[in-house]
């Protein structure tokens, strides 16, 4: 590593405990790594959104992009933060999650429309805005964008899939899709 890469690696390890996952890749472009790490730290630790919804946005982006590393790294955190395990399972299986909390459901639908439809219906927008305000919705979009970039990096550079973990998605094995959501058989 050159001096800038060493500097970034030390900062990341100091803030996050180690240089893992996507940061191992992003260090190849230390200036991008610097900016991505700062954005990632904001959306994970400082955003106006409650922790459970920061984690939910990460899981939604991870599933949208089939990023198993991100999913595995955060699925337990999302459940611990208050996202129902049944809802998490439904998202992993591309099903329809149910949320007890109105604000969680509004957030999920807002994020889902962004990821899947690339637009948000007026009714969905207003419902989410009622709960989170303009700042919360901007933070949600920023989270989805950051976590989407993260997922693309992980999949493109085939970052460690944590072989000690059960594959989280029935239709993905390794870095590809399988037939019928099974092991290709």
Full domain range(s) for residue 54: 47-170
Domain tally, the chain: 1
> pLDDT (tens digit, 9 = 90+) per residue, 84-115?
999 999 999 999 999 999 999 999 999 999 99
Nearest-angstrom CA–CA distance, 89 and 160: 22
First to last CA, the chain: 44
User: Considering the entire predicted model, what is its pTM?
Assistant: 0.91
Q: Can you give the pLDDT at residue 182?
A: 52
Q: Can you give the pLDDT at residue 179?
A: 74
Query: What b/e readout covers 35-74, taking b as 16+ CB neighbours within 10 angstroms?
Result: ebbebbeebbeebebbbbbbbbbbbbbbbbbbbbbbbbbb
**84 φψ region: left (φ > 0), alpha (ψ -120 to 50), beta (else):** beta
Assign residue 126 the CATH number of its domain.
1.20.1290.10
Please report whether residue 105 resides in a domain: yes
Closest CA to 75 of 66, 62, 94, 64: 62
Q: Can you give the pLDDT at residue 160?
A: 81
| CA angle (72 as vertex; 152, 97 as ends), nearest 5 | 90
Please report whether residue 157 resides in a domain: yes
Nearest-angstrom CA–CA distance, 67 and 150: 9
Please report whether residue 65 resides in a domain: yes
**Count of C-beta atoms within a 10 Å radius of residue 144:** 20
Low-confidence ranges of the chain (pLDDT < 50): 183-185
Please report whether residue 21 resides in a domain: no
Q: Can you give the pLDDT at residue 166?
A: 87
Q: 27: Cβ–Cβ under 8 A, 6 or more apart, which residues?
A: 1, 5, 8, 9, 19, 33
**Count of C-beta atoms within a 10 Å radius of residue 10:** 11
């Amino acid at each position: 590593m050159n001096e800038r890469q060493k500097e970034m690696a030390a900062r990341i390890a100091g803030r996050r405990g180690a240089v893992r996952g996507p940061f191992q890749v992003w260090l190849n472009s230390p200036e991008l790594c610097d900016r991505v790490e700062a954005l990632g730290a904001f959306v994970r630790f400082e955003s106006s959104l409650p922790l459970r919804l920061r984690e939910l946005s990460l899981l939604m982006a991870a599933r949208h992009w089939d990023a198993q590393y991100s999913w595995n790294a955060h699925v337990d955190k999302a459940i611990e933060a208050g996202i129902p395990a049944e809802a998490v399972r439904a998202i992993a299986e591309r099903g329809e999650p149910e949320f007890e909390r109105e604000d969680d459901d509004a957030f999920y639908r807002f994020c889902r429309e962004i990821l899947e439809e690339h637009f948000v219906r007026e009714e969905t927008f207003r419902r989410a805005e009622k709960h989170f305000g303009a700042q919360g919705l901007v933070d949600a979009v920023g989270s989805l964008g950051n976590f989407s970039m993260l997922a693309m990096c992980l999949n493109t550079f085939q970052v460690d899939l944590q072989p000690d973990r059960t594959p989280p998605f029935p239709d993905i094995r390794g870095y590809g899709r399988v037939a019928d959501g099974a092991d290709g058989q």
